[in-house]
Chain A
Amino acid sequence: MSAPWYKFGLFGDNVSLVVAFVIGIGFGFFLERAGFGSAKKLTAQFYLTDMTVFKVMFTAIVTAMIGVFYLGWIGYLDLSLIYLTPTYIVPQFAGGLLLGVGFVVGGYCPGTSCVAAATGKLDGMAFLGGILAGLLLFGELFPLVSGFYTMTPLGRVTLPEFFDLSYGLVVFLVVLMAVGGFAGATQVEKWMAAKKGVR
């Protein structure tokens, strides 16, 4: 076991910032190359005319999942040391809904708004400004919402633990979902294109 590198002390805080910077640049670059700097492309997802968002996100999930599973299996990666965001059912449900509405209305999610702003898009910059203002507001109002914020805590849960399934089975099911989803998404795109053509 020698990964996660940071937690096993392969590098310290300073180097970890450099690593984060490099990964961030890479993340932004590939989001932009996937076309996620454009609000039109992103919102097309919600009209089912362009399923790129779905495909890119699911590809990332499946790639990371298979990588983590196999690295853990060969004994290189210590899964218990990977940080998992603790689960709070109700606030996360509300937050997810809010983010989805914001995505449809504003045309970006937080990460892609940075990409859009970096490519000089005014709507991206406005969105980013909104994020910063919202963060400030949330921080200032936190004492008022802290009760809601920590409601219904489940702690650190994973799907295999929660449903009492084996890790391998969950990996297989997610892979099936992804591959099925890709095929389905391509089909949906074709239907929507045909519908548009008819109209």
Chain B
Amino acid sequence: MKGLFTKLTVNRALGLATLVLGFLALFLGDPGKGARATIDPSELALMVQREVDHVSPEQLADWIIAGRSDYRLVDLRREAEFAEYHIPTAENIPLTGLDRSSLGRNETVLLYSEGGIHSAQAWFLLKARQHRSVYMLSGGLDGWKERVLFPRVTADSSAASLEKLKHVSAFFGGSLRTGSGEAAAGPTLIMPKPQISAPPVAPAGGTTTKKKKEGC
């Protein structure tokens, strides 16, 4: 038995090692998909408390206007709802599709849903899967309508801030709301049509925007 190993040529020994490693691979399971999702509860709790994972609607509006593209805006609602209206530049990944999505662990992801609950749940899912920078839109789509599309103008807001509010909401196809109470309940607010310039969609289930410098 001992002689068998000493007699092997280097090529044969390497071939044998390859076979053994390949054979073991049969039983080791999936090397990729986070079978070992681990979370650090105290760290996550701290992040939640400090609200460092929140992005305000106004901030997002600024990002979109400035044309920032170093993050991915993800709409977690159902397809029909997404088709009806979505924040410009958003892509639709329903909550159930999150597991199979093309979101990279190194990408900055900003989540939103109708209110805030689904995005918070998705935030935990992604955090558990070791995604580095995941953010939530505070207030969700409701907050977006309330603070960007149809912001309420109060008597004490300054002229400068009023001008900015008007400018931003007009950019996204909304308008200012004056007065209080009754206006909100009164005539229905017409949601702007989703913009034609949807984010680029990769062909047939591929990933979206790929960095050009990759590949050989």
Contacts and interface: CB of A to CB of B under 8 A. Distances in A.
- A, B bound: yes
B32 A167 contact: yes
Interface in B18-33: 18-19, 21-23, 25-32
Given A1-B130, A78-B105, A69 B25 contact: yes
A188 interface: no
A12 B102 CA distance: 23
Contacts of A1: 105, 130
B80 to A, nearest CB: 24
B197 interface: no
Given A153-B203, A179-B15, A81 B105 contact: yes
Nearest to B105: A78
A81 B206 contact: no
Chain A interface, DSSP helix/strand/loop, else mixed: helix
Which among B32, B102, B202, B205 has the highest number of chain A CB atoms within 10 Å?
Answer: B32
B214 A83 contact: yes
Interface size class of A (residues with CB under 8 A): 35 or more
Interface string B49-64: 0000000000000000
B32 A168 contact: no
Given A66-B21, A178-B18, A86 B29 contact: no
Q: Which 5 A-B pairs have the closest CB atoms?
A: A175-B22, A155-B206, A72-B31, A153-B203, A79-B32
10 contacts: A66-B25, A69-B25, A70-B25, A70-B31, A72-B32, A73-B28, A75-B36, A86-B203, A167-B32, A178-B18
Interface of B: 11, 15, 18-19, 21-23, 25-32, 36, 102, 104-106, 130, 202-207, 210, 214-216
Given A78-B105, A83-B214, A175-B18, 15 more contacts: A8-B106, A70-B25, A70-B31, A72-B31, A75-B36, A80-B104, A80-B105, A153-B204, A156-B207, A166-B29, A168-B25, A168-B28, A171-B22, A175-B19, A178-B18
